[in-house]
């Protein structure tokens, strides 16, 4: 049988716009061999006591800490020195250590046993059997952290794991693979491979369960491919997060929270604030504050250590945001500050941008923008605000800022989104372990991605029924 030829893929530097790196994906035959080796090693890993896996994962956390600066540097180059790159190794370590502390308790609760209520002479017990091989296809906007958010609990569950990060941000793979290889027990069941969408399609054919993070169109293709194989798939497909600001809100605090929530990571975060609905009586005062705070934000160019906003991850992403701005202004939106992307040193940058006179017919209020843009619309009544917030195909998360927590919660309970931030924005970043996150509408499917329940996605539950008396006669 003829084997496939290796492909070489160029990688663009988001700060310089230059191709300065390249990756070589495995051929389909090589990938099948890698998956076969992981699957073979998984039996011993999955059958080992949980405490064994905990001890191995603790060793890995130590190696991540030892290579922390190398990981930060490579992840930073991948993202154009986004702030989240500096946080990612510590977030991953914290996630690992939390599972070390709590996995045993969570898994024990998931294995009930006792007597059946219908037939007390029948006893039951439950076993959790990990899926042998998990495939992860992860995105480019927070490459290290998002590649591991699902992989870590799956490893504790006893799965083997193969990860394909985005071909846009592959530089961090070398240091993270170094940490894995320094823990030989882990390296047998856990690896990364580089590649593009073609490699991702091949992974689907070789795994037993899949997690994908990306766009709705690509998520639909992934879901269809997994359905053809009858394997479970978990999807997170982005958002168009609204925030409602009421007449009673502290406008100063609201503006501070919204600038951060919309512009952190250049707005390239799935739960960034992308739509702002403000009660009409306070709209003008709020916009003045928002513009003032937006103008205080600094680009991290030319000095990567100064400023809050880096370049877009891809030139195409800058084009998408520019298209949304053009569409909004053509339809009557008013540009209050900021504007379209500019090229600085070869990278694509955008200042925090505020628009008013927007409506839900504009692309910038309907499609995922993924940039530091803050479109502000007026509303009259609470019912109108909720209706506008829910007028979206997305339902990842949302925010409400009002005069008090109870008012915010009352409004938030009416919004169709999995997570509601109250009196602030962007709190989703801090819910990796303790709080379960779910997605509504087209933002995703498949159960909790974070929180205690997230590990249970990676098990098949097996029930044992025991008759404690003689079998009943047929007649």
Classify burial at 137, counting beta carbons within 10 Å of its beta carbon; exposed 0-12, middle 13-18, buried 19 or more.
buried
The string of DSSP letters for 31-97 reads HHHHHHHHHHHHHHHHHS-HHHHHHHHHHHHHHHHHTHHHHHHHHHHHHTS-HHHHHHHHHHHHHHH
Q: What pLDDT is attached to residue 4?
A: 62
User: Catalytic residue at 236?
Assistant: yes
pLDDT of residue 1: 45
Percent of the chain at pLDDT > 90 equals: 93
pLDDT number for residue 430? 67
pLDDT in tens, 245-301: 999 999 999 999 999 999 999 999 999 999 999 999 999 999 999 999 999 999 999
Q: Please answer whether residues 361 and 382 qualify as being in contact, where contact means their C-beta atoms are separated by less than 8 angstroms.
A: no
CA atoms within 13 A on the CB side of 10: 8
Structure tokens at 398: 């949302």
pLDDT at 336 over 60: yes
Look at residue 356 in the predicted model and tell me its pLDDT.
Answer: 98
Spot the catalytic one: 236, 367, 368, 407.
236
- The CATH-assigned architecture of domain 241-430 is 3-Layer(aba) Sandwich (3.40)
The confidence band for 139, taking pLDDT boundaries of 50, 70 and 90, is very high
Q: In whole angstroms, give the CA distance from residue 129 to residue 46.
A: 8
Residue carrying the six token digits 């916009």? 287
**What are the C-alpha distances in Å from 410 to residues 257, 405, 413?**
20, 9, 5
Task: Show the tokens assigned to 346.
Answer: 């070869």
**Which pLDDT belongs to residue 62?**
98
What average pLDDT score do residues 165-183 get? 98
Domain segments of the chain as ranges: 9-237+443-463, 241-430
Paired tokens of 245? 């600001």
The residue-averaged pLDDT of 209-234 equals 97
Residue 231, pLDDT > 70, answer yes
pLDDT at 309 over 70: yes
pLDDT of residue 274: 98
Query: Mean pLDDT, to the nearest integer, of 448-462?
Result: 93
Catalytic residue (one of 100, 159, 263, 270): 270
Instruction: Indicate the average pLDDT of the chain.
Output: 96
Per-residue pLDDT tens over the stretch 55-82: 999 999 999 999 999 999 999 999 999 9
Interstrand relation of 233-236 and 160-164 (parallel, antiparallel or unpaired): unpaired
Give the mean pLDDT of 464-475.
92
Nearest CA-CA partner of 339 in 328, 356, 320, 352: 352
| Mean pLDDT, residues 227-244 taken together | 97
User: 9-237+443-463 sits in which CATH class?
Assistant: alpha beta
- The predicted pLDDT at position 6 comes to 75
The token duo for 400 is 């409400």
Q: What is the mean pLDDT of residues 117-122?
A: 92
The answer to whether residue 364 scores a pLDDT higher than 90 is: yes
62 CB-side CA count, 13 A: 8
C-alpha to C-alpha distance for 350 and 339, rounded to whole angstroms: 7
């Amino acid at each position: 049988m003829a084997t496939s030829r290796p492909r070489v893929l160029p990688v663009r530097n988001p700060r310089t716009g230059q191709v300065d790196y390249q990756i070589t994906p495995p051929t389909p035959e090589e990938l099948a061999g890698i998956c076969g080796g992981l699957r073979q090693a998984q039996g011993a890993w999955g059958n080992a006591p949980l405490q064994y896996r905990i001890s191995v994962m603790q060793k890995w956390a130590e190696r991540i800490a030892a290579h922390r600066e190398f990981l930060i540097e490579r992840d930073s180059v991948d993202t154009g020195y986004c702030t989240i790159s500096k946080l990612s190794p510590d977030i991953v370590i914290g996630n690992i250590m939390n599972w070390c502390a709590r996995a045993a308790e969570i898994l024990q609760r998931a294995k009930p046993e006792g007597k059946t209520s219908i037939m007390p002479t029948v006893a039951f017990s439950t076993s959790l059997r990990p899926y042998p091989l998990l495939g992860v296809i992860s995105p480019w906007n927070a490459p290290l952290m998002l590649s591991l958010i699902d992989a870590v609990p799956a490893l504790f569950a006893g799965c083997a794991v193969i990860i394909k990060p985005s071909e846009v941000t592959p530089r961090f793979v070398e240091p993270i693979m170094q940490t894995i290889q320094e823990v030989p027990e882990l390296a047998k069941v856990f690896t990364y491979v580089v590649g593009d969408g073609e490699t991702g399609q091949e992974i689907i054919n070789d795994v037993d369960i899949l997690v994908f993070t990306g766009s709705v169109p690509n998520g639909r293709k992934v879901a269809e491919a997994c359905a053809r194989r009858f394997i479970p798939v978990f999807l997170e497909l982005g958002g168009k997060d609204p925030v409602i600001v009421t007449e009673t809100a502290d406008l100063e605090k609201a503006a501070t929270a919204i600038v951060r929530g919309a512009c952190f990571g250049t707005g390239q975060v799935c739960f960034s604030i992308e739509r702002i609905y403000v009660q009409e009586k306070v709209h003008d005062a709020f916009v003045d504050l928002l513009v003032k705070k937006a103008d205080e934000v600094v680009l991290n160019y030319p000095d990567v250590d100064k400023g809050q906003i880096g370049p877009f991850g891809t030139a195409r992403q800058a084009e998408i945001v520019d298209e949304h701005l053009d569409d909004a202004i053509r339809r009557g939106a008013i540009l209050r500050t900021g504007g379209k992307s500019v090229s600085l040193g070869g990278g694509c940058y955008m200042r925090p941008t505020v628009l008013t006179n927007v409506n839900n017919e504009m692309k910038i209020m309907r499609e995922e923008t993924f940039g530091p843009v803050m479109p502000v619309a007026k509303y009259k009544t609470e019912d109108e605000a909720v209706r506008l917030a829910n007028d979206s195909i997305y339902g990842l998360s949302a925010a409400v800022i009002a005069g008090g927590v109870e008012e915010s919660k009352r409004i938030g309970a009416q919004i169709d989104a999995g997570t509601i931030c109250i009196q602030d924005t962007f709190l989703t970043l801090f819910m990796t372990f303790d709080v379960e996150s779910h997605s509504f509408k087209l933002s995703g499917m498949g159960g909790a991605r974070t929180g205690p329940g997230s590990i249970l996605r990676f098990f098949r539950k097996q029930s044992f029924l025991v008759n404690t008396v003689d079998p009943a006669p047929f007649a």
